[in-house]
Amino acid sequence: MAQQPAEESAPVPEGPNVAADGRKRIIIEGVNPKIDGGRFPIKRTVGESVVVEADAFTDGHDSLSCVLQYRKVGETAWQETPMRFLVNDRWRGEFKITEIGRYEYTVLAWVDHFKSWRHDLGRWEQAEDIALSLRIGAELVGKAGQRVAGADGQWLIQRAKELVGEQELQHRRQLGLDEELAHVMFHQADRTLALSYDKILGVVADDERARFSTWYEMFPRSCSPVPGKHGTFKDCEAWLPRLAAMGFDVLYFPPIHPVGRVNRKGKNNTLTPGPDDVGSPWAIGAAEGGHKSILPELGTLEEFRELV
């Protein structure tokens, strides 16, 4: 029994784009989704899937196999998942966004000689054709077994022997058509002449709330119920039910740090502020602190945490 590979394989090296000797039998085009030909990344949120389709084809009657490769930006190895054939050279695969950040994805395809052989084996009816096909299949499986280390390699070598063994012809034919053998041969395929799509496409992944949230921007210093009095975080709490009733689910503040006093402006943008003018909240930094401090008039860090 072969060791079953996971549905999504371990990281794999980046695939070659063209064989060293110039052979290029595969065309990959029409890859979607992409924006402006891949110039800009698409957007998704955590928990969503990126469903990718591509046209992939080759010359002649050989079968193809395709995988969707993806990774977080900055990683060196690809994760991959098989792509499913749809119709008319169209393939589809998908991967799930698991965390906020940037992802990359592309498509890799190769001529799958084992898949071609398996398809032919399934349609032969004459014993002579089946016997000859089994010898060809045994050679393909045996070479894969020699190429692959570990339990899978040993299992493939044994299966190659069984394909040309002494058992009844139809039994050996069923061994060749076995789904487990197809599964292992797919994951242990020879990708020497594999070809990757000529672009690496991007995804920007945001938090789930980016799909539906409605933001309300509010100056906390203006939330006091007493006219002319500086508002506080506690005053902001009284506004939350009203904002929620209007359909807002994100409260957005301007900077809440100590405001600088040098070149401070007053009401209506005057350059001669009075002693009670609070200045622009974007002018961050004063004797009370900078970006890691809270403007004392608004309250304390603990009160801010309570508001959050």
pLDDT at 16 over 80: no
CB-based contacts of 36, cutoff 8 Å, min separation 6: none
Q: How many CB atoms lie within 10 A of CB 45?
A: 16
Q: What was the pLDDT predicted at 287?
A: 79
Residue-wise pLDDT for 97-150, tens only, equals: 999 999 999 999 999 999 999 998 988 878 888 889 899 989 999 999 999 888
For residue 147, give the amino acid letter: R
Q: What was the pLDDT predicted at 22?
A: 56
Q: What was the pLDDT predicted at 13?
A: 45
Phi, psi of 16 (to 5 degrees): -70, 150
Q: Helices then strands (H, E): number in the chain? A: 8, 13
Confidence of residue 2 (pLDDT cuts 50, 70, 90): very low
Confidence of residue 4 (pLDDT cuts 50, 70, 90): very low
Is-contact 137 232, C-beta < 8 A?
Answer: no
Mean predicted confidence (pLDDT) in 76-91: 96
Q: How many CB atoms lie within 10 A of CB 237?
A: 13
